[in-house]
Structure 1
Amino acid sequence: MATEKENVKQLSFEEVKALYENNKRNEILIDVRELEEYDEAHIPGIPLIPMSEMVDLVNEFKKDQEYVLVCRSGRRSHEVAKFFKDNGIENVHNYADGMIGWEAEKATGEEWVVEQVNEIYK
């Protein structure tokens, strides 16, 4: 069950896995780790937008969209979620367990490295 920390909803593995498996989901899952980490292992089909690029890109995100952010342990994604909220993106959640806690299928390689934020909107 989701908890909240510093005004950011913290999602568990079970909650994120259920979202991931729902093809009709409205939420957009985003990996915020660095390229090397994403390359080693990531949730299949999830785009990479590194935390280091968020300051420059935050205004390109749709403010009315719902986002779930993922990193290695949940710490960086939590910081990005707070940053989103500070910039008017209210519907953002953190995967608290991060990739350390991801107990489902993983992919490797540079599957979906985002060049422009509008790529993530279907």
Structure 2
Amino acid sequence: MSYEKDGINQIEVEELEKLVNEERDNKILIDVREVEEYDQFHIPGVPLIPMNQIPQLFEKMDKEKDYVFICRSGARSQNVALFLKDNGFNHVHNYAGGMLAWQGETAEGPEWIVKDIKEIY
């Protein structure tokens, strides 16, 4: 069951598992951890945009899309969601548990490190 924190919708593990396992045209999942963390383990098919790159890329992001941000514990992804909300994005969500709570399938290596924001659309 999702809830709200500081104006950001918080998604819990069960809801994220559902999103990962179904077609999600309406929600874009983005991992915001560092490359080294992503390489160790990540959710298959979820692209990486490290948190420190969001300020350079957000102006090219589609404000009409729904975004779910993922990090290690839910703190960095919450900050990314807050930053984007402050910059006019109304459809941002945080995965509250972070990868620490993730029990689903994981992959290793640099599967999808975003170089150009157009890759996620």
Using structure 2 for the length normalisation, give the TM-score.
Answer: 0.98
- In structure 2, give the amino acid aligned to 1:98: G
**Are 1:34 and 2:34 an aligned pair?**
yes
Distance of 2:107 and 2:89 partners within structure 1:
29
Provide the residue aligned with 1:23 in structure 2.
23
Provide the residue aligned with 1:82 in structure 2.
82
Runs of 4+ residues over 4 Å off in structure 1: none
Per the TM alignment, residue 23 of structure 1 is displaced from its structure 2 partner at its CA by 1.7
Provide the residue aligned with 1:107 in structure 2.
107
Kept after mapping to 2: 8 A contact 1:84/1:92 = yes
Q: Partner of 2:47: helix, strand, or coil?
A: coil
- In structure 1, give the amino acid aligned to 2:110: E
Distance of 1:69 and 1:85 partners within structure 2:
12
Counting matched residue pairs gives 121
Unmatched tracts of structure 2, length 5 or more:
none
Provide the residue aligned with 2:9 in structure 1.
9
Provide the residue aligned with 2:61 in structure 1.
61
Unmatched tracts of structure 1, length 5 or more:
none
Distance of 2:78 and 2:40 partners within structure 1:
21
- Percent identity between the two aligned chains: 51
1:36-90: CA deviation from partner (whole Å, max 9, x where unpaired): 0000000001000000101111101100000000000000000000001011111
Provide the residue aligned with 1:97 in structure 2.
97
Aligned-residue Cα RMSD (Å) equals: 0.7
Distance of 1:71 and 1:118 partners within structure 2:
21
Distance of 1:17 and 1:88 partners within structure 2:
27
Per the TM alignment, residue 24 of structure 1 is displaced from its structure 2 partner at its CA by 4.2
Per the TM alignment, residue 10 of structure 1 is displaced from its structure 2 partner at its CA by 0.5
Provide the residue aligned with 1:120 in structure 2.
120
- In structure 1, give the amino acid aligned to 2:74: G
Using structure 1 for the length normalisation, give the TM-score.
Answer: 0.97
